[in-house]
Structure 1
Amino acid sequence: MLIDGDLTLRCAHSGERNELWQQIFMNNEWKALDAPYTPLEYQSRFYFRLNLFRRLKEGDNALVIEHKGNVVGYLSCYWEDQSTRWLEVGITLFQSQNWGKRIGRRALRLWIGHLFIKYELQRIGLTTWSGNPRMMRCAEGLGMQQEGCLRKVRFYQGKYYDSLRYGVLRDEWESSKVRPSLAQVC
């Protein structure tokens, strides 16, 4: 569990399975900004329980975001290439009422800090697209550098967008003012 005031990153509870499934696959407002050019692959409740929900319960590579007592999203990480220790992070905030309030930035700050403690890494990355300016500002606000821009590779609603890669190095993170100071790893 990672805590910053009214924000908690934690493992999912068994009783939250249906609520999370509903937010991800039925009330999926979040998909409008999270790679909408890629169709959401629907999962039945059964497969959700075996896949993402299992990961959220275990808490090794995914955690629920709780803000003021409400589940508002989740964080994840995945190996782009584990043999070279190339780790990427992702975040989903379910509803637009929680966007633009720095909830995502605070959550990612805790998550990235935790991952640098947990793993012997020199870099953590995040990929977004130019159609999501809030995510771009979030990454930059965390001290991440834009490391790559694949121009006009995302086609959505008749328009081309760039794919953007951001990253932060361990020494940059450790010397920055955005690194977590209130995080508790339980």
Structure 2
Amino acid sequence: MFETDRLQLRAVREADFEKLRVLWNDPRAQKMRTRDFVVPLGDKKFDEMLRARLSSSLLYVIIETKDSHEFVGITSLFNLQQKNRDAMLGLALVHEFWGRGYGGEVVRFIVDYAFEQLALHRVTLDVYGNNAAAIRVYNKVGFIQEGVQRKANWIDGKWQDVILMAVLDEDWEASRKGDLKIVS
């Protein structure tokens, strides 16, 4: 189990599947996570998808509050490119926990862990252009925009850009030494 100031990150248990299914099926969260159609998944289909993600991810953990053990969401490192030491970051929070600083706390921890413990060279992600709050969080942690897939995702009757971002181990190291200013 890992801990941040206010949160703990722990392995997924069978008992978590229902909470994860509810989070996945929340249209507010689902449309920020997937380029697929926003449709609810039933028990069997969701369980199959989750088991596949758990087995293929480098890291997939439950986020909960330290004090009351409330389910906050999940974070993961997946699509590991071993040769290039690059993994993608995934994050989904229950809507009630949006805007409380938990996203930044988790992302900062995962990036530190990726470079200090897993010896990754890059942590990458993509985020939809309409998700300004997430983009601010990623910038504060040190992610740099590397590209834009213009009008690549259809959400709520509009095309959204998909913004590709990454943080490199050398940028992360420089920011820890104070050599690099993170622009937000």
TM-score by length of 1: 0.79
Correspondence for 2:144: 145
User: Corresponding residue for 1:39?
Assistant: 37
Which letter does structure 2 place at the counterpart of 1:11? A
Q: Does 1:87 align with 2:87?
A: yes
The letter for the 1-side match of 2:105 is R
Q: The residue matched to 2:16 in structure 1 has which SS? A: helix
Between the aligned partners of 1:74 and 1:162, the Cα distance in structure 2 is 24
Judge conservation of contact 2:122–2:169 (CA < 8 Å) in 1.
yes
| Aligned-pair CA distance for 1:51 | 4.3
May I ask how many residue pairs the two structures share in their alignment? 175
Q: Larger RCO: Structure 1 or Structure 2 (Cα < 8 Å, ≥ 6 residues apart)?
A: 1
| 1:145 positional shift | 0.8
- Segments of structure 2 that go 5 or more residues without pairing to the other structure are 178-184
- Match in the other structure for 1:157: 156
* Aligned-residue offset at 1:155: 3.1
Whole-angstrom CA distance in 2 between matches of 1:134 and 1:172: 22
Distance 2:45 2:117 in 1: 28
For 2:160 and 2:53, how far apart are their aligned partners in 1? 31
Q: Using the alignment, how far apart are the partners of 2:36 and 2:55 within structure 1?
A: 26
Larger displacement relative to structure 2 (148-157 or 38-47):
38-47
Q: Which shows bigger deviation, 143-152 or 14-23?
A: 14-23
- What is the distance in 2 between the residues matched to 1:90 and 1:22? 17
The alpha-carbon distance between structure 1 residues 58 and 38, as it changes in their structure 2 partners (threshold 3 A), is closer
Q: Is the 8 A contact 2:62 2:73 kept in 1?
A: yes
1:4, 1:101 → 2: CA distance? 14
* Separation in 1, partners of 2:19, 2:77: 22
Q: Which runs of structure 2 are paired with 1:41-120 in the superposition (5 Å)?
A: 42-52=40-50, 60-67=58-65, 68=67, 69-79=69-79, 81-95=81-95, 97-120=96-119
| CA deviations over 1:60-84 (Å, ceiling 9, x no partner) | 4210111242111101121264443
Compute the RMSD of aligned alpha carbons.
Answer: 2.8
Q: 1:85-117: per-residue Cα shift (whole Å, max 9, x none)?
A: 33111100121x211211011011111211223
* CA distance, structure 2, for counterparts of residue 54 and residue 154 of structure 1: 24
Aligned to 2:135: 136
3-state SS in 2 of match to 1:110: helix
User: Following the alignment from structure 1 to structure 2, what is the Cα–Cα distance between the partners of residues 8 and 116?
Assistant: 19
TM-score (normalised: structure 2): 0.79
